[in-house]
Amino acid sequence: MSESFSLEAVVRPNILALKPYRCARDDYSSGILLDANENSLGSAVTGDYVSVAQAQALNRYPDPLHVQVKDRLVKLRNLPGPDHVFLGVGSDEVIDLLVRIFCVPGKDKILITPPTYGMYGVTAQINDVGVVKVPLTVTEPMFQLNTAQILETTRQDPTIKMIFVCSPGNPTGTLIDPDAIRHLLQSLDAFRGIVVVDEAYIDFVASDRGESVASWVTQYPNLVVLQTMSKSFGLAGIRLGLGIAQPAIIQLMNNTKAPYNVGTPTAAIALAALTDEGIAKMQSSAVQLRAQRDLLLKELPKITGVGELVGTHDANFVLCRILAKDGSGEPSSERAHAVYERMAQQCGLVVRFRGNEPGCAGCLRITVGTPEENQKLLLLLAQTLEQL
């Protein structure tokens, strides 16, 4: 009698146990989409960017390094040169490469600060790397690094090789105090690994609130900064992320990546967005989205059933609490989830439920939409809360 094949016996145990990253788009992919923090005003590319991409020699493999794209990013981000920039298939590829480069599977760990971007933990588990959690503060100042606890944790556990910091945070929308980041970078007696600062939303930060730490890479060999073309540039569909670090780390990433990871059409569209005209369009849309964000911050609290607007609102979304129906004034994750489902299923408006994360009880994360989308959101949210 022949034995049957068992897939479970072949798959790595950490993959079998994996809880994959899920987003609202897995359940709802049509309607007014205010769930994924995309740029609702469109891309920064001027002209016919489809023609830009199609004009390339697609019968040839792409440039392995795309130095022209890097040169324009160097100018935009005030960096020393293209040898400080790595281009990846979204920031997710950069995260995966960093984990594979610096962490030994089954031995090393990363440290994350929930509530935070889910792919740090998912990527670690895929690579059989442990995850240590030190939550952000949930009292004032809210959603900031608990640097003392982080450094005590890394001091006690030398297998922690990387700390991931999301600034502005996702889902918190809160810019991390740069002094706290600098403290981590300088505390080599407690942590000698890599500090990764994910700045996906940095262009939505008002100038009086703070700025990128990307230029710090010239000072700190243990710093990697992540940025993306998906958010402020409105190019989520081309999947282009970047890592910024000293050349030694960039070289390791280039050595480890697939030979032609970023395709020719992606690079061509990125070049079109990184012209002076494209950058001006990006900056203009960021100003408009900040204005619409301010409108939501003003109007959402007027809706019965909406409670605290959480965080410091430094990204292109807002995080708001939904209150219990009983009038107690307490946040209700159950009601928030019901609102999320009702609006998606019956109203065609998709936001993101984040009520299961630390400090986010009862929270919905709402991407700032166009003026028309935001007015629709305010109306539908008020109607839905009356019904639930």
Residue 259 shares a structural domain with residue 380: no
* Residue 8 falls inside a structural domain: no
More confident residue, 152 or 50: 152
The two tokens of residue 296 are 């939501």
The two tokens of residue 67 are 């130095």
Q: Which string of DSSP letters, residue by residue, matches 133-202?
A: E-PPPSSSSTT---HHHHHHHHHH-TTEEEEEEESS-TTT--PPPHHHHHHHHH-TTT--SEEEEE-TTG
Peptide bond into 221 cis (omega under 30): no
Whether 80 has a pLDDT exceeding 70, the answer reads yes
The two tokens of residue 311 are 């965080």
Of 250, 278, 306, the position where a domain reaches its end is 278
Residue 290: pLDDT band (50, 70, 90) is: very high
Please count the CA atoms within 13 angstroms of the CA of 359 that sit on its side-chain side.
25
68 vs 347: CA distance, rounded Å:
44
Residue 240 shares a structural domain with residue 93: yes
pLDDT value of position 1: 44
Three-state SS at 87: strand
Residue 198 shares a structural domain with residue 223: yes
Of 278, 306, 341, the position where a domain reaches its end is 278
Whether 5 has a pLDDT exceeding 60, the answer reads no
Domain count, the chain: 2
Of 218, 252, 278, the position where a domain reaches its end is 278
The two tokens of residue 14 are 């950490």
Q: Which residues have CB under 8 Å from 73's CB, separation 6+?
A: 79, 82, 85, 242, 274
Whether 54 has a pLDDT exceeding 80, the answer reads no
Whether 3 has a pLDDT exceeding 80, the answer reads no
18 vs 312: CA distance, rounded Å:
33
pLDDT value of position 116: 97
Residue 347 shares a structural domain with residue 377: yes
CATH of the domain at 312: 3.90.1150.10
Residue 50: pLDDT band (50, 70, 90) is: low
* Residue 1 falls inside a structural domain: no
* Residue 319 falls inside a structural domain: yes
pLDDT value of position 42: 73
Residue 375 shares a structural domain with residue 226: no
Short-list 21, 20, 34, CA closest to 340 = 34
Residue 136 shares a structural domain with residue 222: yes
Residue 85: pLDDT band (50, 70, 90) is: very high
Residue 31: pLDDT band (50, 70, 90) is: confident
Where in the sequence is the domain holding 31, given as residue range(s)?
Answer: 13-41+283-387
Residue 59 shares a structural domain with residue 26: no
pLDDT value of position 49: 56
Q: Which residues have CB under 8 Å from 328's CB, separation 6+?
A: none
The alpha-helical segments, DSSP class H, found in the chain are 13-16, 49-54, 67-77, 90-102, 119-126, 147-156, 178-186, 247-256, 264-273, 276-299, 333-347, 371-387
- 225 beta partners: 197, 244
What is the percentage of the chain residues whose pLDDT exceeds 90?
A: 77
Residue 137 shares a structural domain with residue 216: yes
* Residue 7 falls inside a structural domain: no
pLDDT value of position 120: 97
Whether 21 has a pLDDT exceeding 70, the answer reads no
240 vs 235: CA distance, rounded Å:
8
Whether 2 has a pLDDT exceeding 80, the answer reads no
pLDDT value of position 25: 61
Residue 220 shares a structural domain with residue 134: yes
* Section 168-176 average pLDDT: 97
CATH of the domain at 71: 3.40.640.10
243 vs 86: CA distance, rounded Å:
5
* Residue 374 falls inside a structural domain: yes
Whether 221 has a pLDDT exceeding 60, the answer reads yes
Residue 380 shares a structural domain with residue 308: yes
pLDDT value of position 41: 77
Residue 229 shares a structural domain with residue 312: no
The two tokens of residue 61 are 């493999």
Q: Which string of DSSP letters, residue by residue, matches 100-145?
A: HHH--TTT-EEEE-SS--THHHHHHHHTT-EEEE-PPPSSSSTT--
Range among 29-43, 255-269, 325-339 with highest mean pLDDT value: 325-339
Residue 171 shares a structural domain with residue 222: yes
Residue 234: pLDDT band (50, 70, 90) is: very high
Whether 59 has a pLDDT exceeding 70, the answer reads yes
Q: Is 331:359 a contact under the CB 8 Å cutoff? A: no
pLDDT value of position 19: 72
Three-state SS at 17: coil
* Residue 5 falls inside a structural domain: no
* Residue 268 falls inside a structural domain: yes
Choice among 24-28, 92-96, 244-248 with the minimum mean pLDDT: 24-28
